[in-house]
Structure 1
Amino acid sequence: MESAVPMEAPICLVENKNGELMVNQQALQILTSITDPVMVVAIVGLYRTGKSYLMNRLAGKNAGFSLGSTVQSHTKGIWMWCVPHPRYLDHTLVLLDTEGLGDVEKGDSKNDSWIFALAILLSSTFVYNSMNTINHQALEQMQYVTELTELIKVKSSPNAVGEEDSAEFVGFFPDFVWTVRDFTLELELDGHAITPDEYLENALKLSKGKNPKVAMANLPRECIRKFFPKRKCFTFDRPTNLKSFLSHLEDVHESELEPAFKDQADNFCSYIFSNAKPKTLSGGIVVNGNRLGKLLETYVKTISSGDIPCLENAVLALAETENSAAVQKATQHYVEQMVLKVDFPTETLQDLLKLHTDCEKKAISVFMKHSFKDDTQKFQKELVQILESKKDDFIHQNEEESTKKCQTKLEYLSQTLKEAISQGTFSVPGGYQLYRKEREKIKNNYHQVPKKGVKADEVLQRFLQSLAMTEESILQTDQALTEQEKVLEVEQVKREAAEKEKKLLEQQQMEVQQKMEAQQRSYEENMKQLKEKMEEERIQILREQENILDHKLKEQKKLMEEGFCENAEEMKRQIEDLQEKIETAESEKSSWLSPILDTVGTALMFMLPGAGKVVGLGIKAASHLL
């Protein structure tokens, strides 16, 4: 469990006090410190049905989650235990044990419904634990699943409610596991042995009839079938036949358990370890502990305010904080890499810009990895501006380091010359030639100094200019030269100065061009990585829709086989809508990206004005990426 304190025991994550749900900040701190992907297994069921025992088994412990030994519900709220995943490195198993449903001591059953809904929203595998058999009574006790349409919204749109909105539940609901404890029946149907999975599916068959009682009995079955495409069932014998052991299972040694129960518990754990998926959001967004904690905060805050948790709003709120953090991570990565790689001063600006391009590319990649649902590219644009500013800072630092080094070196090399000037060494006939010889010696020695950087010529030119008046005075007072020779010498000095100024101007123009080309590369890299990310997201969403379609087609076929043609017909509309969406997405392919990239490209061009000058109409530069 990366960057998190190992948990020796569970801790209450969501407190249930006087019917009010509150997030325990200490537990939240533990959860949000987990940066690994999380597999979240939540268990719910009636109180005193042995939920906690199964969760302790998953944690690899006998004790941990409170088992209790009386008829009172022992677990209040939602308790959490985070342990390293036993089979997948760099993944954390988050176990959530919930308050027993149907506790007669509780006055408000609404609380149970919210606990149930939170378990659904947080988990990637949802375990429902019951006793004895899956019969009419057991399914009646699953009334909480029928209330989910009133407790959870997928879309924030006021039009997306009820049946239309709940049709999308299957897209984000967890895998479903039903565990039946103290199961004493023979697993047989019509004289043939059946598996626990077949037993569950048979129990979920709809009853025929038009009266309200039948409709009410069918409702939980319909909801389970509709909301949970992946279903699994485990049946468990009694763990032991000794009543004294049953009330203290945490103290019972493995060898004292019934062999059949031990095997069943091992099979259950093995299935969870192998099949529990990392928690993900729509679009394949992987959830780590930090993200899960923030989602939990949003859900509980919404419930406490009397509103209905909306998945879309919760994800958008999470995206705001996560994308802001992604900008910071990308910026930090860029700065760290530049500090590591840049040896100031660089010989040329191009050397620095090459390192900048490499580091910027990786920084954009870091941002793309950690950001999601940046639909308006607000945060990507922010990153572009920050990296452009940081690049300018490094260019400025590079120039300062070069200037400082060159000035220091020239100061050292010109000491002898300055002393000779002050002592009047050159104020003699022929002194001008002596002076020129000494000056050329300084220039030659200066040119041989390595790693002077980008300001080498400019600093030298300023140095020579600072000597101009002294040089003119030495020239004019040198009696060894004729007036004509002095005029010619002045003209030669002017020509040399003009050539040097021209060379400096050409260098500055070249550096401006190099900066613009770097901005163009920045623009293209941003657009390239954005296109790749958006295409990946499109494919992921398409895959999710195809999975939902496959589930709905199977459910429609099952309804037809069971003789529920009206129900199958109702589902037909959902199937047709989904098929149309998929067909549209597949036919559009990359064409859907063009207007988005043009819009983003326009915004980037305003931030990177140099890029537009390089390619003319910069906005259209994105078109070659499509």
Structure 2
Amino acid sequence: MAPLVPMQQPICLIENVEGSKLVFNKEAEKILLEISQPVVVVAIVGKYRTGKSYLMNKLAGRRTGFALGSSIQSKTKGIWMWCVPHPEKSGHTLVLLDTEGLGDVEKGDCKNDAWIFSLAVMLSSSLVFNSLGTIDQQSMEQLHYVTELTKLIKLKSTTTKEDTGEYKRYFPSFTWCVRDFTLILEKDGKAITEDEYLMSSLELKKGSDKKIKDYNLPRECILHFFHGHKCFVFDRPASKKKLQILEELEESELEEEFVEQATRFYSYMIHHSRVKSLAGGAEVTGRMLAVLGSSYVTAIQSGTVPCMENAVLALAEIENNGALQDAMSKYLCDMDKQVQKFPTETQQEFLNMHMECEKVAIQVFMGRSLNDKDQKYQRKLKELLDNKMNDYSTKNEKASRDFCRKLLQELSANMENDILAGKYSVPGGHKHYLMQKLNVMESYNSRPGKGVKSLEVMQEYIAEKKDIEAAIIKADETLTEKERQLAEEHAKAENEKREKEIVEQNNRNLQQRMDDQQRSFEQHKSMLMDKMEQDRKMMIQQNELVISQKLKEQEMMMNQGFNNRMSDLQKEIDRLREANKPKPRRCSVM
């Protein structure tokens, strides 16, 4: 995994130009594209001047970074990003997203606020909502953007009614931070926890008139959309005068209660915030987050509603093409290191080299491939690997031919000089020629490292000398006609023997290639089955998370007397449990 390049300060990820146009920052995109590690993405939203940036700096382990601001003006325009190594999860990156304050009077565009909120939801794995005072109807009204999410975000390209049960799979967890909290945490005279305070505030009212529907709607959305609910309350950190220089203050200058509360918030968010994942459970890397973010912003600016399914399909195409490129680069790099060992003594030795390099290449591909439907890209990988194997096989054969020809040239140098000098065109010359030729062949056959084309090169060499040997036989006056005939028949028999050996070797090579293809297929299939099993486990894990949250939601509905809503929740739970049941695994890479 690519190491994270340290970011000394945040950078604007999505710029809000003049409060109306959103632009995906190319410099920030470049930073994300370099991160191949899985990312934990924490985004914070809320009304401006509520201290959001202080909490994000706390998560970054810094006092300064995200602009806190000390005036009534909103300091953060758009969405700012800070990528830091995750303090607990080795090999992971913590991506912090600080959004501009919602409801900025200077902006005057509610639709723009809604898009900022929606982008924070789509990009994060943990969403923090920051508000002042208490959780009351007024603070719920500040969170009205949550009621518009179904209009601003499409889960699938063909949205159906059943899709509403899928939001928990796509959306982040939800944490509500209540700042400057002055109440006592109790209900009906009994002490309650922060989480109980939140869930109590999310209780629905019975009734069907518009006022009750308006009251229930944001609460229903929070319960139904997000897969987890957490609450933190904070005392005022310091006096009003000191708040203006909050980032300059040491912890010892802050209220003790606030410091303890901020520490608990930090510990929880760092420990419990999950890796950003796609529907199905695949972990999102920084590179993938960049593609998703750019896709969402492009859709918004084109006037369409961002579709999370379409964004993932586009991401899958990019990732799978990248997986192909990475795998082939790895294969070529590893095979190029083997070229120095060419020629291999046998074809099987070459095929074993290929198989080892292919195995690593497939592992690289599987590590990055995403939603490779019908194994389209894996089949393309196999095709490319087979083609490149043929190229290297040709190189191996050429190395063998070059080596053998050079060897024969060296071994037969004296014999060639004697041929040119006519030393064999004398009585008894043929016998002398045969002895020289036999010495060359024996020396050649005993030399190791000739490679897979040694027989063919020898046969070609003998074929080149056929006419010369015939002329020597004819010129040798000591040979009788019978001896000439026997010499020619012997040469012919030797030639047929070598031809037969070549055919047998080619047949063995062909069988080895066929066996290699079968091994290759089995190797692809085995790794694919492992990948499918891994993907299924991630899907089941995600489904179980959604089921547990829906069971809590169901229990809450039952306790509040909303039995009519329990049936729909039960159907969603049953559907998820059915999806988790074992199913026959099918795959094809051929």
Q: Name the TM tier (shorter chain).
A: over 0.9
Secondary structure at the residue paired with 2:74?
coil
Structure 2 residue corresponding to 1:271, chosen from 268, 272, 280: 268
CA gap 1:72/1:584 in 2 versus in 1, 3 angstroms:
closer
2:147–2:218 contact (8 Å) kept in structure 1: yes
What is the aligned residue count? Answer: 588
Map of 1:98 onto structure 2:
99
Letter in 2 for 1:486: R
Structure 2 residue corresponding to 1:411, chosen from 409, 412, 430: 409
Map of 2:327 onto structure 1:
330
Deviation, 1:585, is: 5.5
Map of 1:52 onto structure 2:
53
Partners of 1:456 and 1:435 in 2: CA distance:
22
Map of 2:6 onto structure 1:
6
2:88–2:271 contact (8 Å) kept in structure 1: yes
Partners of 2:157 and 2:563 in 1: CA distance:
32
Map of 1:205 onto structure 2:
203
Secondary structure at the residue paired with 1:283?
coil
Map of 1:290 onto structure 2:
287
Write the mapping of 1:173-252 to structure 2, written as runs, cut at 5 A: 173-241=171-239, 243-252=240-249
| Superposed CA RMSD | 1.6
Secondary structure at the residue paired with 1:286?
coil
Map of 1:20 onto structure 2:
21
2:46–2:102 contact (8 Å) kept in structure 1: yes
Map of 2:83 onto structure 1:
82
Map of 2:343 onto structure 1:
345
Partners of 2:268 and 2:2 in 1: CA distance:
24
Partners of 2:210 and 2:467 in 1: CA distance:
108
Partners of 1:578 and 1:251 in 2: CA distance:
50
2:557–2:563 contact (8 Å) kept in structure 1: yes
1:153–1:165 contact (8 Å) kept in structure 2: no
Deviation, 1:192, is: 2.0
CA gap 1:285/1:581 in 2 versus in 1, 3 angstroms:
closer
1:10–1:65 contact (8 Å) kept in structure 2: yes
Deviation, 1:584, is: 6.0
Deviations 1:389-438 (A, max 9, x none): 00000100000000001101111111100111111211222111111111
Deviations 1:62-81 (A, max 9, x none): 11111111111111100111
Map of 1:320 onto structure 2:
317
Question: Which moved further from structure 2: 541-550 or 521-530?
Answer: 541-550
Secondary structure at the residue paired with 1:488?
helix
Deviations 1:462-510 (A, max 9, x none): 1111111111111122122211111111111111100100111111111
1:345–1:398 contact (8 Å) kept in structure 2: yes
Partners of 2:13 and 2:531 in 1: CA distance:
34
Map of 2:577 onto structure 1:
582
1:153–1:166 contact (8 Å) kept in structure 2: no
Question: Which moved further from structure 2: 525-534 or 194-203?
Answer: 525-534
1:2–1:90 contact (8 Å) kept in structure 2: no
Letter in 1 for 2:495: A
Letter in 2 for 1:144: Y
TM-score by structure 1 length?
0.91
Partners of 1:540 and 1:83 in 2: CA distance:
26
Deviations 1:500-521 (A, max 9, x none): 0011111111111111221122
2:99–2:116 contact (8 Å) kept in structure 1: yes
Letter in 2 for 1:533: K
Deviations 1:193-230 (A, max 9, x none): 22111111111111233321111111111111111231
Secondary structure at the residue paired with 2:127?
strand
Letter in 2 for 1:16: N
Letter in 2 for 1:167: G
Partners of 2:231 and 2:76 in 1: CA distance:
24
Partners of 2:2 and 2:575 in 1: CA distance:
43
Question: Which moved further from structure 2: 197-206 or 522-531?
Answer: 522-531
Aligned sequence identity (%): 48
Deviations 1:343-400 (A, max 9, x none): 1000011111111112212211211111011113221121111101000001000000
CA gap 1:9/1:580 in 2 versus in 1, 3 angstroms:
closer
Map of 2:127 onto structure 1:
126
Letter in 2 for 1:45: G
TM-score by structure 2 length?
0.97
2:228–2:549 contact (8 Å) kept in structure 1: no
Question: Which moved further from structure 2: 501-510 or 553-562?
Answer: 553-562
Question: Which moved further from structure 2: 334-343 or 422-431?
Answer: 334-343
Map of 2:32 onto structure 1:
31
Give 4+ residue runs of structure 1 displaced > 4 Å after superposition.
none
Map of 2:156 onto structure 1:
155
Unaligned runs of 5+ in 1: 605-626
1:545–1:578 contact (8 Å) kept in structure 2: no
Partners of 2:267 and 2:363 in 1: CA distance:
36
Deviation, 1:574, is: 4.8
Secondary structure at the residue paired with 1:15?
strand
Partners of 2:378 and 2:227 in 1: CA distance:
36
Map of 2:117 onto structure 1:
116
Partners of 1:256 and 1:169 in 2: CA distance:
43
Letter in 2 for 1:280: S
Partners of 1:524 and 1:16 in 2: CA distance:
52
1:549–1:575 contact (8 Å) kept in structure 2: no
Write the mapping of 1:461-540 to structure 2, written as runs, cut at 5 A: 461-540=459-538
Deviation, 1:277, is: 1.2
